[in-house]
Amino acid sequence: MTIASRLRHAGLYLSIVLGIVQCGDAPRDGGLFLPADFNSTVFVDSIEETVRHMAVTGDGILYAKLRSAGEKGSIVILRDTDNDGDSDDIQRFGSINKRQRWSYATAMRVYNGYIYFSSDLVVYRYKLNPKTLEPEGEVEIVLTDDHEHGKHEHIGKPIAFDNQGNMFVPFGAPSNACQDPKRTPGAAGVNPCPQLERHGGIWRFDADKLGQTQKDGYKYATGIRSVVAMNWNPVDEELYVVMHGRDDLLRLWPNKYSPWESALLPSEEFIKVTEGSDFGWPYCYYDQMKNKKVLAPEYGGDGEIIGRCAEFNDPIIGFPGHWAPNDLVFYDGDQFPERYKNGAFIAFHGSTNRAPYPQSGYFVGFVPFKDGAPSGDWEVFADGFAGVDPIVNVKDAHHRPMGIAVGPDGSLYISDSVKGKIWKITYEGDKDSFGEAQLVEMEKHKLLSHIRTPFEIEDNLMKDDMAGGEKIYYRYCSACHQLDGGGASGRFPPLTETDWVTGGKERLINVILNGMEGSLEINGEMYNGVMPQHSFLKDDEIADVLTYIRTNFGNKANAIETVEVEKVRSK
């Protein structure tokens, strides 16, 4: 009997879930579930352009990087002038460069009198003026990513600063696993991977020097695939990162990985980045269930072989796969209980590619630290953003946590990328009496389907009687485009209400056979994901799956015949 069956048999599983949904006094004012004596309020209910990352100045002014740069600017200023807990003064500013992918903005930090922020290719800054809300002068360009980017992945530019005047910026890997051709089933990885020369690592720059490109920096660490959550720890004076692990284990290696393994692996690695460290991408990945780094299948691995991976640095914690860690903050405030002092808060934006299992993540976690090292297991600190459980499709989630910032009074701010909501978290209890008893209810959240390890059989959403195009869609397409065809905002386009699906057959067949990269606009929204080629599918399989998407999800286009696929492939 499985764990789930035993719990259900004992009548405990339902009571645990109901206890969470209705626990104690929950939901609190802001609708979030938090440890006892913490309170959430809505600092701002929604911002039309939605919000990515945030920073708070010493006088309590909150700056937030907008996801979609509107005509009024790309940054919003929020202030609570009457001290009632929510923002009553909202202003926008910031020049707009429409060529930049603002939806990929991955940084906002206050440093040395400036507000720094980024787009996909550029790190900017404004000089703060303590007498005015809006910074003074023109925007300054600190760093430009001058690579060719037409088909590159992982080009976000998070930033961190040490106390010596240095700025750290990652240059993400331009592929999933350094395959040639990329994202192709069974294709071997290039060895050695040439992409590591100028990508897949973190570079150090002079924080005050303008007009820099990568050649002005120093390669600080390597073997790091993709980073959004990054920060400097002032206690041990080291750089920390929560890395996004690779994708597509099932699609690329169906003979080596099951759908369940592909949903859970590889780990999102919480790593301490020291000068000269190497974390092994693309040759290796970390398996959080086995607690070891193993050889990637592109380099001969099978999920068990360690091989050359023994040479590389291990993470300090391995989180489950695809949780999308998108911000990292070390708590230096004095408002929260001592347990949280100097610990790490991590915003997990949530998975998009766990199908056929429920999506996972969508919460803010906490890792306690002592003397510059983790002192305990990770915890669920704030939950309830998604508003549903299980999360079958990404767009089912009401909110997705994105950015975290600490205010001068020790309050914690959390931003949402779906509607632009911002919460303010405060503590209202006795700090001296806070302990394990106050964490009991939050520990139960680890049993919910959007956090716990899914049960391999019972949680599989793929029906046994699926066949033809539906079965192919669930196996190869739903991880990105979702089970309902709705896609994932900013990354994977929807298959609904678009001429890309219901229009010309030859163009659609070509996308399946050859893949597609670069920005794509559908119904006014930009998407920057990668559509891998699926030429490994047989002609009749391609015809079946394209017919399925053209006749489902509200689409009413005619079928695609095998002979039509044969004709396009022959070209």
Q: What is the pLDDT of residue 70?
A: 64
| H or E segment and range at residue 286 | strand 284-287
More confident residue, 502 or 274: 274
Annotated domain spans of the chain: 3-447, 468-570
Output the CA torsion sign for 93, 94, 99, 101: negative
Q: What is the pLDDT of residue 472?
A: 85
CATH 3.40.50.2020 fits 3-447, yes or no: no
Strand 525-527 relative to strand 520-522: parallel, antiparallel, unpaired?
A: antiparallel
Most confident of the ranges 147-156, 225-234, 245-254, 522-531: 225-234
Task: Give the pair of three-digit tokens for residue 357.
Answer: 């299992």
- Residue among 464, 484, 256, 447 at smallest CA distance from 355: 484
Strand 218-222 relative to strand 201-206: parallel, antiparallel, unpaired?
A: antiparallel
Q: Contact at 8 Å (CB) between 386 and 350?
A: yes
CA 37/CA 526 separation, integer angstroms: 41
Q: What is the pLDDT of residue 133?
A: 83
Average pLDDT for 508-524: 84
Q: How does residue 430 score in pLDDT terms, banded at 50, 70 and 90?
A: very high
- Residue among 62, 22, 4, 31 at smallest CA distance from 383: 31
List Cα–Cα distances, 453 to 422, 440, 460, in angstroms: 29, 19, 12
Give strand pairing partners of 123: 118, 143
List Cα–Cα distances, 321 to 242, 249, 393, 396, in angstroms: 12, 11, 17, 20
Rounded (10°) angle between helices 505-514 and 562-570:
60
Q: What is the pLDDT of residue 16?
A: 39
CA 92/CA 90 separation, integer angstroms: 7
Average pLDDT for 472-477: 83
DSSP state of 428: -
Which segment of 178-182, 306-310, 326-330 scores lowest on mean pLDDT? Answer: 178-182
**First CA to last CA distance, the chain:** 54
Q: What is the pLDDT of residue 73?
A: 83
- Residue among 495, 570, 497 at smallest CA distance from 539: 570
Query: Cβ-count burial of 270 within 10 angstroms (0-12 exposed, 13-18 middle, 19+ buried)?
Result: buried
Which segment of 338-347, 441-450, 454-463, 517-526 scores lowest on mean pLDDT? Answer: 517-526
Q: Is the pLDDT of residue 520 over 90?
A: no
Q: Contact at 8 Å (CB) between 272 and 240?
A: yes
DSSP state of 99: T
Task: Give the pair of three-digit tokens for residue 119.
Answer: 């787009």
Q: What is the pLDDT of residue 516?
A: 84
Q: What is the pLDDT of residue 150?
A: 58
Q: What is the pLDDT of residue 13?
A: 35
Task: Give the pair of three-digit tokens for residue 70.
Answer: 């509107």
Q: What is the pLDDT of residue 2?
A: 40
Reported as a single tens digit per residue, the pLDDT across 379-401 is 999 999 999 999 999 999 999 99
Share of the chain above pLDDT 90, in %: 63
DSSP state of 237: T
For residue 261, the SS3 value is: helix
* The CATH number fitting domain 468-570, selected from 1.10.760.10, 3.40.50.620, 3.50.50.60, 1.10.357.10: 1.10.760.10
Q: What is the pLDDT of residue 101?
A: 64
Average pLDDT for 36-45: 95
Task: Give the pair of three-digit tokens for residue 107.
Answer: 């940084």
Task: Give the pair of three-digit tokens for residue 270.
Answer: 């919480």
CA 43/CA 46 separation, integer angstroms: 9
- Residue among 522, 534, 517, 528 at smallest CA distance from 569: 534
More confident residue, 51 or 133: 51
Q: What is the pTM of this model?
A: 0.89
Q: What is the pLDDT of residue 182?
A: 86
Q: How does residue 15 score in pLDDT terms, banded at 50, 70 and 90?
A: very low
Burial 484-499 (b: 16+ CB within 10 A, else e): bbbbbbbbbbbbbebe
Q: What is the pLDDT of residue 287?
A: 98
Which segment of 21-30, 491-500, 533-542 scores lowest on mean pLDDT? Answer: 21-30
Q: What is the pLDDT of residue 535?
A: 85
Q: What is the pLDDT of residue 18?
A: 38
Number of alpha carbons in the 13 Å side-chain half-sphere of residue 118: 27
- Mean per-residue pLDDT of the chain: 89
Enumerate long-range contacts of 37-40, CB under 8 Å, 24 or more apart: 37/427, 37/428, 37/429, 37/430, 37/434, 37/438, 38/425, 38/426, 38/427, 38/428, 38/429, 39/425, 39/426, 39/427, 39/428, 40/382, 40/423, 40/424, 40/425
Q: Contact at 8 Å (CB) between 228 and 153?
A: no
- In single-letter form, the type of residue at position 458 comes to E
Strand 268-273 relative to strand 238-244: parallel, antiparallel, unpaired?
A: antiparallel
- Residue among 62, 70, 65 at smallest CA distance from 53: 65
- Residue among 186, 394, 354 at smallest CA distance from 262: 354
Which residues have C-beta within 8 Å of that of residue 102, sequence separation ≥ 6? Answer: 66, 67, 68, 69, 74, 119
Which segment of 321-335, 363-377, 486-500 scores lowest on mean pLDDT? Answer: 486-500
Which residues have C-beta within 8 Å of that of residue 10, sequence separation ≥ 6? Answer: none
Q: What is the pLDDT of residue 9?
A: 34
CA 292/CA 315 separation, integer angstroms: 9
Task: Give phi and psi for 354, each to the nearest 5.
Answer: -100, -5
Average pLDDT for 462-489: 83
Q: What is the pLDDT of residue 27?
A: 39
**Could you write out the DSSP letters of every residue in 371-402?**
TTEE-S--EEEEB-SS--SSB-SGGG-S--EE
Q: How does residue 68 score in pLDDT terms, banded at 50, 70 and 90?
A: confident
Most confident of the ranges 10-24, 70-84, 117-131, 189-203: 189-203
Q: Contact at 8 Å (CB) between 67 and 56?
A: no
Which residues have C-beta within 8 Å of that of residue 263, sequence separation ≥ 6? Answer: 321, 322, 354, 355, 356, 357, 360, 454
- In single-letter form, the type of residue at position 229 comes to A
DSSP state of 89: E
Average pLDDT for 391-413: 96
